[in-house]
A and B are shown apart, each in its own frame.
Chain A
Amino acid sequence: MLEIKNLHVDLEEEDKSILKGVDLTVEAGKVHAIMGPNGSGKSTLSYVLSGRDGYEVTQGSATLDGEDLLELEPEERAAAGLFLAFQYPVEIPGVGNMTFLRTAVNAQRKARGEEEMSAADFLKVVREKAKSLKIDADMLKRPVNVGFSGGEKKRNEILQMAMLEPKMCILDETDSGLDVDAMKLVAEGVNALRDEGRGFLVITHYQRLLDHIKPDVVHIMADGRIVKTGGPELALEVENNGYAGILEEVA
């Protein structure tokens, strides 16, 4: 589903290489996790895939079901089925959460040549999904992420993911800033979306999240490359020994 080949990325403004040849394939129905120390390029990978400005791809490719992602505008990537749950969801004063969700759902439908969702249908679906994430009516009415706690912001990301039903979900440190209960809630939301047709790439520092969202494959990223790939046991190894041991081993 998601295929990344030899991806090299520089920061545009600083002329600094961040990704130095990433190879990664996420199959439909699978959950892949990327772990790695700070500064290894994990978040950059998520930004480059979703189309954020400020990065220059110097080599390599990234495709979603064969479609070249790097050629597309951010909104086209979203319509193609890519979703990034942000590490730091952006606050947007003045834009109601509900308006935002509905505009997003309908913009994607329109881009795919599908019929827009009626207001009534939308309301019904959003209420149901919000309920399972313990998002109350007030949070839906408030401006996007404004005044939300860390946990509320992350739950709001998962709600967007549930509404948009993407093919490929990238979760960028979704566990950061969450207490155990909030993390469970978020993980349940993600697990509810696990499906044969959907791929996940879960970026995290810690094993903790992976106790709740069980990965099929775990990758270790360091200095802009995937340096080791294995099963769920690799995450446990990180938890027990830190990254140092693994990095020494591959060096």
Chain B
Amino acid sequence: MLPVRKHAPTPQKSAATEARLNAQALPDGPAWLRDIREAAVARVRDRGLPDRRDEYWKFTRPETLVQAEAPKAAVFAGGDQSVFANVDALKIVFVDGVFDAEASDELALDGLRIERLAELNGTDIHWAKDLYGVLEERGQWPVDRPLAALNTGFASDGVVIHVTGRVSKPVHIVYEHQSDSSDAMLHHLVKLDAGADVTLLETGPGAARFNSVMEVDVADKAGFHHVRVQGRDHERRSNTHVFARLGTESTFKSFTMTANGVLTRNEAVLELTGDDAVAHVAGAAMGDGDFHHDDTVFITHDAENCESRQVFKKVLRNGATGVFQGKILVKPGAQKTDGYQISQSLLLDEDSQFLAKPELEIYADDVVCSHGSTSGAIDEDALYYLRARGLPKEIATDLLTQAFLAEAVDEIEDEGLREEVVGLLSGWLERRRG
């Protein structure tokens, strides 16, 4: 049914790949983890790291994510170090990818167990071996995601969370960026037992170049809620992957807010494997100038009566670029699938661009799938109406901008977190107004 890529990387691609692979050594760890890492490196070699000729990288140039040395990125002085500071959470801090024990809370919370990937040393038998690199490897079909395999191979640390119950407060991973040449790779695992429920927050720019992978195994009737705010550092580059597998009647909801960053590529690869599962993934991005933001989503329906939603909104100005590649794949037998996908951009000037590739691929006959993609300017009638009521043009524009982003922000289920994000958005818009 689906075309499967089978051709060796070009010599140039292999050379670039080898240069990157040789630039670093596999981290220490238990034997089972070492085996997985070596297999992942083999996957990278087999495919080659992405280059500009790859169809999946048609709209986003991967060179700076691939090259051996990370391009420098100045630390942004006006960064939001305090995002979600008012939200009571278990805080885990990484500075340029390095765990900061002092700034972090004690890694203990009712309903879950947290360990660090870097400290799995010596643990020979661990549930993590059934998850680490497993969803990432499944996600390599039908499209290659070699940067995720690279991460499985070389990630220096990450959190490994086993959720056994309904957790009362969120786990908050904070990514600080303090060095202008940091090159960080983190790999997180979240395993939710049947009926368990947790909220995971991720905030901050992470590093000058940041590659993160999260694999989430959501068992039957479990719920995973994810809210992410990628820092305002202007020059940072980040490339993230979230892989999730959903069991029967489980829920997965992920929202990401991005402002600034010369290069961001967020991939979400979700597989609905149990009946009646729900997967929502949403994003709100605001960018200026050399900002480039790419949301790439692949949702596979492989069970009956599941629902998936993709809601992505981008506000672009001064020549900023937004990319959306979103796919819903409905496998044979995945009847009663309800799939929805919308990607929209608000272009505040003629120099900015939005490139969208929405795709549906359906092999079941009793499904409802819809998708839409639009690019538009501020609604002049609405702007006039607001101004006629006394709102200055800039404030009216910002209000309409927030309204445009609202459908994505509304995907955050928790009201408190949603209000925090709305507050962040208006704060950022206000600062931009000066």
Task: Tell me how far the C-beta of B339 lies from the nearest C-beta in chain A, rounded to whole angstroms.
Answer: 23
B379-404 contacts to A, CB under 8 A, are: 379-382, 384-393, 395-396, 399-400, 402-404
Q: Which of A7-15, A90-98, A222-230 lies at the interface?
A: A90-98
* B393 in complex: contacting residue of A73, A84, A104, CB < 8 Å: A73
Task: Tell me how far the C-beta of A77 lies from the nearest C-beta in chain B, rounded to whole angstroms.
Answer: 8
Interface residues of chain A, those whose CB is within 8 Å of chain B, are 50-53, 73-75, 77-79, 84, 86, 89-95, 99-100, 103-105, 107-108, 111, 143, 160, 164
In the bound complex, do residue B392 and residue A75 qualify as a contact, i.e. CB atoms below 8 Å apart?
A: yes
* B395 in complex: contacting residue of A86, A93, A94, A107, CB < 8 Å: A107
Give the residue name and chain of the A residue nearest to B401 (CB).
A94
Q: A75-B393, A94-B404, A94-B407 are in contact. Are A51 and B385 (CB under 8 A)?
A: no
* A78 in complex: contacting residue of B382, B390, B393, CB < 8 Å: B390
Residues of B within 8 A of A53 (CB): 380, 384
The answer for the CA separation of A100 and B399 in the assembled complex, in Å, is 9
The answer for the CA separation of A86 and B388 in the assembled complex, in Å, is 10
Q: Give the number of chain B interface residues (Cβ < 8 Å).
A: 24
Task: Tell me how far the C-beta of A225 lies from the nearest C-beta in chain B, rounded to whole angstroms.
Answer: 25
In the bound complex, do residue B391 and residue A75 qualify as a contact, i.e. CB atoms below 8 Å apart?
A: yes
Give the tally of cross-chain contacts (CB within 8 A).
79
The answer for the CA separation of A108 and B395 in the assembled complex, in Å, is 12
In the bound complex, do residue B388 and residue A50 qualify as a contact, i.e. CB atoms below 8 Å apart?
A: yes
The answer for the CA separation of A107 and B399 in the assembled complex, in Å, is 13
In the bound complex, do residue B386 and residue A164 qualify as a contact, i.e. CB atoms below 8 Å apart?
A: no
Task: Tell me how far the C-beta of A58 lies from the nearest C-beta in chain B, rounded to whole angstroms.
Answer: 21
Give the residue name and chain of the B residue nearest to A93 (CB).
B403
Give the residue name and chain of the A residue nearest to B406 (CB).
A94
Residues of B within 8 A of A79 (CB): 390
The answer for the CA separation of A164 and B392 in the assembled complex, in Å, is 15
Residues of A within 8 A of B395 (CB): 103, 107
Residues of B within 8 A of A111 (CB): 390, 392
B322-339 contacts to A, CB under 8 A, are: none
Q: A75-B393, A90-B381, A90-B382 are in contact. Are A51 and B388 (CB under 8 A)?
A: yes
Give the residue name and chain of the B residue nearest to A161 (CB).
B389
In the bound complex, do residue A74 and residue B384 qualify as a contact, i.e. CB atoms below 8 Å apart?
A: yes
In the bound complex, do residue A103 and residue B391 qualify as a contact, i.e. CB atoms below 8 Å apart?
A: yes
Task: Tell me how far the C-beta of A238 lies from the nearest C-beta in chain B, rounded to whole angstroms.
Answer: 29
Residues of A within 8 A of B391 (CB): 75, 103-104, 107
